[in-house]
Amino acid sequence: MTAALDPRRFASEGYAVIGGPGIAAAKAEATAALTDMAAFISRRVLGEARGETLDDLLAHMAAAETDRAATRACYEVFPTLPEVIALINGRAFKQAAHAAGLARPCAGTNPLIRLDRPHDTQFSTPAHQDWWYSMLSDRAVVIWTGIGTMDPQMGPVEVIPGSHQNGVVAFRPYEAGHEWFECATPPQDSAFVATAPGPDEVVVFDQRLVHRSGANRSTRIRVSVQLRYNDLETAAAMTSTFTPSLSRWVLERQKAALETRTAS
What is residue 244's predicted lDDT score, i.e. its pLDDT?
A: 57
- Tell whether the model's pLDDT for residue 237 goes beyond 80: no
**CA distances (Å), 86 to each of 7, 107, 168, 179, in order?**
25, 11, 30, 25
Q: What is the mean pLDDT of residues 30-40?
A: 97
- Tell whether the model's pLDDT for residue 55 goes beyond 60: yes
The Cβ of residue 66 has, within 10 Å, a number of other Cβ atoms equal to 8
| CATH class as words, domain 7-263 | mainly beta
Is residue 115 within 8 A of residue 68, CB to CB? The reply is: no
Residue 231: partners with Cβ closer than 8 Å, 6 or more residues away: 101, 102, 103, 104, 105, 106, 137, 138, 139, 140
Q: How far apart are CA 229 and CA 233, in angstroms?
A: 12
Residue 217: partners with Cβ closer than 8 Å, 6 or more residues away: 118, 119, 153, 154, 155
What is residue 241's predicted lDDT score, i.e. its pLDDT?
A: 58
Is residue 183 within 8 A of residue 130, CB to CB? The reply is: no
Q: Kindly give the pairing relationship between strand 140-147 and strand 171-173.
A: unpaired
Q: Which of 81-85, 148-152, 218-222, 260-264 has the highest mean pLDDT?
A: 81-85
At 186, give phi and psi (nearest 5°): -60, 130
Q: Catalogue the E-assigned strands of the chain.
A: 15-19, 105-107, 112-116, 140-147, 158-159, 171-173, 181-183, 193-194, 201-206, 211-212, 222-231
